[in-house]
Amino acid sequence: MNGDGSDSLFDQLIDWSAESKADNYRRYFDLPADPEHAALHAIMEGAPIMADLVYRLNPDIDLAIVTEEAAISGIPVSF
């Protein structure tokens, strides 16, 4: 454990599972996340991100932020 957060970031790279992503989502955003949630699986499988998919994960999210982050990551967005 380095104490600088790099362990958590590395774990996210090597553990690409819905359970890991849901756990990270709960810790990072302090919001509930179900590893069996269909929206989470759809995004992990590379589905284009659509507004209804985003709102199923977080109904209070600002779509402008999602668009910006998706562009940085190269993830397709369809709003």
Q: Each residue of 14-26: pLDDT tens digit?
A: 776 777 777 777 7
Where is pLDDT greater, at 64 or 20? 64
What is the pTM assigned to this prediction? 0.55
Token pair 């932020």 is found at: 65
pLDDT tens, position by position, 25-41 = 777 777 666 656 777 77
What is the full DSSP assignment across 7-65?
HHHHHHHH--SHHHHHHHHHHHH-----TT-HHHHHHHTTPPEEHHHHHHH-TT--HHH
Residue 39 forms part of a structural domain: yes
Q: Is the pLDDT of residue 11 over 80?
A: no
Residue 19 forms part of a structural domain: yes
How many domains does the chain divide into? 1
- Dist. CA 36–CA 22, nearest whole Å: 9
Residue 12 forms part of a structural domain: yes
Residue 33 forms part of a structural domain: yes
User: pLDDT tier at 62 (50, 70, 90 boundaries)?
Assistant: very high
Domain that holds residue 46: 6-78
